[in-house]
Chain A
Amino acid sequence: MRLNVVATRPDVPVQPLHALDHLWFQVGGTLCNLECNHCFISCGPTNDSFGMMDLSQVQRLLEDSRRLGVKEYYFTGGEPFLNRQLLPILEATLRYGPATVLTNATVLPARTLEELRRVDQASLYSLEIRVSIDGASPATNDPIRGEGTFARAMEGVRGLLRYGFLPIITAMQPETGGESFDDFCQTLRAAGYKHPRIKLLPPLRLGREIVRSRGYTEHERVTREMMDGYDDSQLLCSHSRIATDRGVYVCPILIDSPAARLGDTLEEGLGPFPLEAAACYSCYLYGAICSNVSASPGQA
């Protein structure tokens, strides 16, 4: 069950899981109403490589997570709100700890928002809604996420605000020519979000040059040398695992790769993992792209 530890390249670093702080759920499978052209798992209206998770699957994992001391729960897809059981799933999760949903905010009718508010208000723990956009205007967002998606996402943001939520707006910035933090602030204030919460995913957390000076590899892979003095809490796999409808995987980014499947249960998913994939290299460069804040323990 921990066969994955065997790496095929001699200089592949093997990343231990320091503590299972974040448990992710591929709750929406790979089904999405949008087809963004940068989606790393190519979600869309017809992608069924992963199915939706149901309440009983999630409930079992929540119970296991208690023993393992999980601190936060994350829900992704696909589009989680396409899952008809999402609300009961969130309600169940919030009895255990804080939950974050990653959404495109384009499928949030009033009755969903109302139900969401009820679930949030009944809970001691925070329910965070993270809305993904890719630009501060239709001109920059829509070429990536699809015609009209900027306006629809902003409508979703306004809806969330109306129901008392403070959504965290998450934008993936392109490597060059991206809009500034202030551009996003301005756009959101104009949409009625007085003190907008924004998480801009930086184009490059470490310059490529730094990486090269530490040992450039022809195929741009992470090497053991590159891990020297590197803050590995930047890597999701140092503190997270993701559960899907077909087993536990090392991280949301690699669920397309069979080698990233660690087992059927959380317990089976706790072993170390070799950072062999090309995706690990961007992860290394870009850092914590997924958690709400980068305060991921296990270091000190």
Chain B
Amino acid sequence: MSEATFSRIAAFGGVYSNHLALARVIEDARHRGAEALLCLGDLGAFGPHPDRTPAILRDSGVQTIRGNYDDSLARGLDECQCGYTDPRDNYFARLSYQYTLRNTREENRAWMGTLPDSLRLRLGNRQVLACHGSPRQMNEFLWESTTPTHFLERLCERYEADIILCTHTGLHWQRPLEGSRLFANVGAIGRPANDGETNVWYALLDEGEPPTIEFVPLAYDHQTLADEMRDEKLPGEFVETIETGWWTTCLEILPSKERRRGKY
């Protein structure tokens, strides 16, 4: 394999139709000298005007992976494959999926179907594997408090990677692994990290011995996004999250440690 090699990579996921944050992340990452930009999937959901994000990603040359949401849209499935099991989570998941499906043009859905489900590239002399949920399952949840270190080390071995990147849960965290390998869940740029702050987060990877991952908090015009969401008659609960930084929906899937850090 001869993947492209970079010394600084920006990675983000969970765009959730937040076109304003997406534009800011691309600008900020370029400004900080990122040579490659990776989007780990879930372009739609939650936010307004789902047709805006694919255009931005294509025009900016972001390498994009197909998440479960994009996969559902591409195939015209009747649900988002998020993997929720609680009726309260599924109620809101259904609302946002129906809105997103209705408002995504055919040509964008077809494009999502062409996206790869993982990407390999090099950070210096390290092999990076980027995926959506986990290398083995598109909608696997890898939370910090439920993912053992030995489990991640085994994934690195099985998938021959020094650095594994994923998203899908919406919360960012990283774990150093044996042999200066690394795992990171890059979180989401579509909604805040359930910490009472309105900013979103993306990841910057740097080559080195050892290579490092830094999470970058990024403010964007969240008030305009909230206004657009109201105009589109999206649930007030979603708008509240954008305006307050606290998750109000899809909470039942959280493990107890992550759940206790939030407000609800």
Contact = CB atoms under 8 A, between A and B. Distances in A.
Contact of B87 (A124, A181, A292, A300): A181
A134 B249 CA distance: 27
A197 interface: yes
Interface residues of B, number: 31
A4 interface: no
A3 interface: no
Given A195-B251, A295-B139, A70 B83 contact: no
A66 B150 contact: yes
Given A125-B146, A126-B145, A300-B137, A165 B256 contact: yes
Chain A CB within 10 Å, residue with most, of B146, B150, B252 = B146
B146 A126 contact: yes
B148 A71 contact: yes
A69 B85 contact: no
A162 to B, nearest CB: 14
Interface string A108-125: 000000000000000011
Nearest to B147: A71
Nearest to A166: B256
A127 B255 CA distance: 9
A: contact size bracket: 20 to 34
B260 interface: yes
Contact of A126 (B134, B140, B255): B255
Interface in A159-191: 164-166, 181
Given A293-B83, A295-B83, A297-B136, A125 B145 contact: yes
B39 to A, nearest CB: 20
A51 interface: no
A128 B140 contact: no
A98 B143 CA distance: 10
B151 A71 contact: yes
B148 A125 contact: yes
Nearest to A164: B260
Contact of B137 (A69, A198, A299): A299
Given A96-B150, A295-B140, A197 B145 contact: no
Given A96-B150, A126-B257, A164-B260, A295 B145 contact: no
B252 A124 contact: no
B31 interface: no
Contacts of B264: 195
Interface string A206-240: 00000000000000000000000000000000000
A294 B85 contact: yes
A72 interface: yes
A81 B87 CA distance: 30
Contact of B145 (A124, A198, A199, A297): A124
A247 interface: no
Given A69-B150, A197-B252, A298-B136, 10 more contacts: A97-B147, A97-B148, A98-B148, A124-B144, A125-B145, A126-B256, A164-B260, A195-B251, A295-B85, A297-B140
Report the 5 A-B pairs with minimum CB-CB distance, sorted nearest first: A97-B148, A69-B154, A126-B145, A126-B255, A297-B137
9 contacts: A70-B148, A97-B151, A125-B146, A126-B255, A126-B257, A128-B255, A166-B259, A295-B85, A298-B137
